[in-house]
Chains A and B, each alone.
Chain A
Amino acid sequence: MWGGAEELSVNLQKNLIIAGHDSEVLRIPFQWEPASRISSQMLMVRALELWNVDKVIALKFPAFYIRHPDKTLWLLHQYRQAYDLYDAGQTNLPPGQEGDDLRALITNADNEAFAESKRIFTNSEVTRRRLKKYNDFDATVLLPPINDPELFAGGQFGDYIFAGGRVNGMKRQHLLLEALAHTSSNVRLIIAGPPDSPADGNQLREAVERLGLGDRVKLDLRFLPRETYAEYLINAAAVAYLPFDEDSLGYVAMEAATAGKALITTSDSGGILGLVKHRETGWVAKPAAASLADVMNAVFVDQALTRSYGRSARDLWNSFEITWPKTVESLLQ
């Protein structure tokens, strides 16, 4: 299993080494299905013995149960199925007493781990709020930086809007296609990124065909080499990223801001709203085709304005000072 946390840990390690430290990544296998397994997995981590280590930075449940006198948390995920997803009815915990017992166990164990940590950071405001709400612990938000900012310099103001990142239902790229059908004909769109499943890719292809957008849309649905992705992004007129209720800013948004591109998102996208200020650094549309269509038109109507939004986005992003050297410094406080 390789995902965002794994990616982050590898980059964190790399940057710690750049900063002159010795760093290793400890990946702990965790099996949460069936839910009856979870107790043993928690105990497993708790029993691990570390020595020869000065400092530990823990990112996820249940890894942060590991014992160490100098432990800092950079919380990417709690076990949401015991917390907000449980409330939303989307959990693998069994209903009734059994599930309640597990939730109590996880909450108590989490609280112990939080209490024994020297500092707690979270990767987003949403995660911070959840930690406060469910466990009543305070934390500082520390956004993960882009790993290769140098790739996102240069470029030009192209004739297309770029939508990058993974393709699936939650990322809602299909909404952009629905919207494109209502825009003026000069608006072009490139959607590029790996579909989570063949069905996700097909959904987009079908929409393009159904809506007759073949001449205005380029679909590049695969895992893109980093340079290719960067090329698409830095040569766009604006960048669209409109997931449903995501915790974090999203790398696409951060990369777009680094490149000085205006951002398009929707009001229910979650974390990205920290970077997209309506008519300042981009546009916040309603999550509906008509509203999005208006915004997509606006990108090309006043190009100077769009460019200035892009510059503001970059300024706002830079003001967050989310760089690896700064992040390493914060974590090692």
Chain B
Amino acid sequence: MKIALVSTFVPFIYGGARNIVEWLQAMLEKEGHQVERIYLPQIDAPDLLFQQMTAFRWIDLSSADRVICFRPQAHLIQHPHKILWFIHHIRSFYDLWDNDLYRGCPDDEKHRGLRAALHDADTIALREAKHIFTNSRVVSDRLKHFNGVDSEVLYPPVFSSERFHTREYNDEIVCICRLEHHKRQHLLVDAMEFTKTPVRLRLCGSSSSSHYPDELERRIAELGVGDRVTLEYRWITEEEKADYFADCLATVYLPEDEDSYGYPSIEASHSAKAIITTTDSGGVLELVQDGINGFVTEPTAERLAEVMDKLYVDRELAKQMGRNALERLDEINISWSHVLRRLLA
């Protein structure tokens, strides 16, 4: 089949939204399909939204048998066989409208009109799709609530999962993701004040600025837990990541209210390691079941310390949870074969 993958992008900003497109392209080409990847630049500035959306309506991809659209507002594209793998709305006009910090425009008549117009246009474009997939239950619920459309959750797998393996279960709980405030590594540092076992913590990843990593360093020093915490503020290579996951006791991923479960939790699962998360982390809760493939605790230092200790003390538990984590991937169909089956149905 000739398949066009369409997404919006900001040049030179890489990450989750691009990975899903590029990994899918590789998998589709492996299956023998002809794939074209189209990235369209877009800015979410309120005054420029509709002229960009109009431009997207003029894009002709009729030479493709099928078109798959990802990041907003790529779903505005017209095609007789349009499939959406809907990652998120322009949230400032949807669920974040009531949040003054994130709205990005005043809550006045003009902008409320813009919001209504955007909802209308999105709904029309969404309805044109033959099938709508999302990357999480959270996003599906939002689509239903705001646009009245039904969608199927299609969990994004990680690329080349065979890179991940299991070697041992050492003394270290690792968290490998960007060091950012909303990823909440500071909660883990705080937890180390309350742990009673020699369990260790490793935080590694790059950051958008040194501000938060510096804050973490200060906190570690303040609490005097530097002997049990390793902070690596740098880009972690895929090999290093696979190694850390292969050897660690367990993993932790507790962002604040993120839509999707995040690749770190999948990578951890492929390495058969338990995942610690919190009740307010969002999409991760679709993956992690408390007591089965990890722990879902309240987002407090004390509770986190408790579960970290529990894993240190009970290696069997850690191993069992790790096995469950691996199984969970099959349970909720996180695999490329499933993705291809559904997208090409």
- A313 to B107 Cα, complex, angstroms: 70
A31 contacts the other chain (CB 8 A): yes
In the assembly, what is the distance between CA of A26 and CA of B11, in Å? Answer: 9
| Contact call A24/B11, Cβ cutoff below 8 A | yes
Question: For the complex, is B51 an interface residue (Cβ under 8 Å from A)?
Answer: yes
User: Across the interface, which residues of B come within 8 angstroms of A210, CB to CB?
Assistant: none
Contact at A50–B58, with CB atoms within 8 Å?
no
Least CB distance, A63 to chain B, in whole angstroms: 12
Give, as a whole number of angstroms, the nearest-CB distance from B60 to chain A. Answer: 4
Whether the Cβ atoms of A48 and B11 lie closer than 8 Å is no
* Contact (Cβ within 8 A) B54 A47: yes
Q: Hey, what's the 0/1 contact readout for B190-230 against A, CB within 8 Å counting as 1?
A: 00000000000000000000000000000000000000000
Q: Which residues of B contact A50 (CB under 8 A)?
A: 11, 41
Residues of B within 8 A of A47 (CB): 51-52, 54-55
Chain A residues whose C-beta falls within 8 Å of the C-beta of B13 in the assembled complex: 52
Inter-chain contact A48/B60, CB cutoff 8 Å: no
A37 and B62 alpha carbons, distance in the complex (Å):
13
When chains A and B are docked, how far (Å) is the Cα of A41 from the Cα of B58? 7
Q: Which of A29, A40, A49 has a CB less than 8 Å from the CB of B48?
A: A49
In the assembled complex, A301 has its CB within 8 A of some CB on chain B: no
Nearest chain B residue, comparing its CB with the CB of A24: B11
Contact residues, B31-87 vs A (CB, 8 A): 38-43, 45, 48, 51-52, 54-56, 58-63
- Give the complex CA separation of A50 and B10 in angstroms: 8
A-B contact count (CB 8 A): 51
Smallest beta-carbon distance B145→chain A, Å? 29
Contacts A29-B38, A29-B60 given; indicate if A48 touches B55 (C-beta within 8 A). Answer: yes
CB contact under 8 A between A40 and B40, given known A49-B52, A52-B10, A53-B11: no
A281 CA to B45 CA, complexed, in Å: 58
Residues 27 to 66 of chain A near chain B (Cβ within 8 Å): 27, 29, 31, 37, 40-41, 43-53
Interface string of A136-157 (1 = CB under 8 A from B): 0000000000000000000000
Residues from chain A with Cβ under 8 Å of B61 in the complex = 29
A321 part of interface (Cβ distance < 8 Å): no
In the assembled complex, which residues on chain A have CB atoms less than 8 Å from the CB atom of B62? 31
**Residue ID in chain B nearest A1 by CB atoms:** B63
Interface residues of B toward A: which range? Answer: 20 to 34
Which residues does chain A contribute within 8 Å of B38, judged by CB atoms?
Answer: 27, 29
For residue A123, give the distance in angstroms from its CB to the closest CB of chain B.
24
Q: Mark A1-25, 1 if CB is under 8 A from B, else 0.
A: 1000000000000000000001010
Task: Contact check, A53 vs B12: say whether CB atoms are below 8 A apart.
Answer: yes
Return B106 CB to nearest CB of chain A, in Å.
Answer: 21
Which residues on A sit within 8 Å (CB–CB) of B55?
43-48
CA distance A329 to B35 in the complex (A): 33
- Bound complex: CA of A29 vs CA of B61, how far in Å? 7
**CA–CA, A22 to B45, complex, Å?**
25
The chain B residue sitting closest to A22, CB to CB, is B12
Among residues of B, the one whose C-beta sits closest to the C-beta of A37 is: B60
A24 in complex: contacting residue of B12, B43, B60, CB < 8 Å: B12
| Contacts beyond the supplied A26-B41, A45-B55, A51-B10: 10 A-B pairs with Cβ under 8 Å | A1-B63, A26-B39, A31-B62, A37-B60, A40-B58, A47-B51, A48-B52, A49-B48, A52-B10, A52-B11
Q: What are 9 A-B pairs at a CB distance below 8 A? A: A24-B12, A26-B39, A29-B60, A40-B58, A49-B48, A49-B52, A50-B41, A52-B10, A52-B13
Closest 10 CB pairs of A and B: A31-B60, A47-B55, A49-B43, A40-B58, A44-B55, A44-B58, A47-B51, A50-B41, A24-B11, A53-B11
Residues of B bordering A, CB below 8 Å? 10-13, 38-43, 45, 48, 51-52, 54-56, 58-63
